[in-house]
Amino acid sequence: MPTLRALPAGRSVRVAVPATSANLGPGFDTLGLALELRDEVTFTVVDGPSSARVTGEGEGALPDDGTHLIIRLALEHLAIRGATAPGLALQARNVIPHSRGLGSSAAAVVAALAGAEALLEPGDRPDPAGLLDACAHREGHPDNVAPALLGGATASWVDDADGGFRTARLRLHPDLVPVVAVPDARLATHTARGLLPETVPHAVAAAQAGRAALLTHALAEDPSLLLPATKDWLHQDFRASAMPESARLVQVLRRAGHAAVVSGAGPTVLVLAAGATAAEEAAGLLQAEAESTAARWTVTVSAVASEGVRVETLQHG
């Protein structure tokens, strides 16, 4: 077994990762959008045991030692890359809501692997495609990790030749404005995925493919088509029983002409608005309708994160 190269104590980096919304309606497990809401994580190599200090989301609930997911993934990735650290001191300021369909788990994976890469010597770092593939394999699918890494909107797939994950960054119309409604209720991704059927009729698959293709055009060229372009048959109706309030909000918004979808596995609701006026109208309707539900909702007119993960070297060591 080759000897792992030890990283020096004191080497430190900071990583900021955006929230993401996957699927965008018909782009199941394929399309994703980065939102300007970021978790910020600082890694420092230490001589002693690993530790984690978390503020914000997960504060008091997440591990404060080396069992923290980001520390474990970072150390595992360093070992794969031929390096080791006695321990990592992690400071995390979390703002991405957990288990709400905004890519918190993907953000953790991207933070861990991008942070681990940044701790290596610059010449040791992989190309972006390699980091995407590593993150997507850790997460299990690429729809959230791709926009978290690259920013903007992405379309991802599995390469037929080697089974690796690939992605393409999509052009976005400047009028696109995301509106996000986040409930206080949570929904585990595995629970939502467990409600999906194993197969669908050929006609449904064909209709879904057509809307996904239309969505890439609407996002780039013609936001007036966002409502028909975000029609979905593959996942949202099947998952409605697990998030009835979210499903009702989507229906109400769509009947009013807004391109509303379930964000990722839910229960957050995302509206893709064509311009600031439409975004404010959608936010007002969401707020009004949300008041009649049992959950407490936070409605925000957001922004697309044009830049993906940000990495800053604090101390080379």
Q: Which residues are annotated as a binding site?
A: 97-107
140 — alpha (psi -120 to 50), left (phi > 0) or beta?
Answer: left
Helix (H, G, I), strand (E, B) or coil at 38: strand
Q: How far apart are CA 249 and CA 23, in angstroms?
A: 17
Helix (H, G, I), strand (E, B) or coil at 301: strand
Q: How far apart are CA 185 and CA 189, in angstroms?
A: 13
CB of 118 closer than 8 Å to CB of 85:
no
- Which residues, including other chains, have CB under 8 Å from residue 294's CB and lie 6 or more apart? 245
Closest of 138, 151, 145 to residue 22, by C-alpha: 145
Pairing mode of beta strands 165-170, 87-94: unpaired
Q: Residues marked as binding for ATP? A: 97-107
Residue 46 token pair: 């230490």
- Which residues, including other chains, have CB under 8 Å from residue 158's CB and lie 6 or more apart? 164, 165, 166
Q: How far apart are CA 108 and CA 147, in angstroms?
A: 13
AA letter at 154: T
CB of 156 closer than 8 Å to CB of 146:
yes
